Amino acid sequence: MSYRTPLSGRFTRKNLAHLSKRAGETYDARHVFYKAMLEHHTYEKYLEHVGELKVHVPTFKDGPISGRREMLYARQNGWIVDELGRFRQRFRTFGDR
C-alpha cells in the first residue's frame, strides 16, 4: 500500500507572482492547473475544478501530469502552503487545550 498525501482544507498562496506567471504561460499545458490554484482557496474546490484532467509535457518523461500532482509540486516548492488552522488541528499538543 502506498501513502497518498492528503489534500483537504484551505491553502494559502505564498508566491502569488510565480503562480500568476505560470498561469499565464499558455504554451505550457500545465497553465490550467495554475489558473485553478489562483481561482480557489481549498484543495477540494481546486480538485473538483481540475477533475481527472491530465496534460502531456514533452520535457516530463514519466507520463501525463494530473492536477493533483501539480498541486503537490507547488506545495513542495513552497508556492502553496496549508493554512495554519488546519496544521494546528492535525498537530495539537497538550499545551493547546
Residue bearing the bigger pLDDT, 66 or 2:
66
The neighbouring-strand residues paired with 65 are 55
> Residue holding cell 481561482?
39
DSSP letter at 96 equals G
> With the C-alpha atoms ordered 62, 63, 69, 74, is the resulting torsion angle positive or negative?
positive
**Cell numbers describing residue 89:** 488541528
Task: Tell me the pLDDT tens digit for each residue of 47-95.
Answer: 999 999 999 998 888 889 999 999 999 999 999 999 875 444 455 444 4
Taking the model in full, what pTM does it have?
Answer: 0.81
DSSP letter at 13 equals E
Residues in the chain: 97
Task: Tell me the pLDDT tens digit for each residue of 26-40.
Answer: 999 999 999 999 999
CA-CA distance, 47 to 39, in Å (whole number)? 12
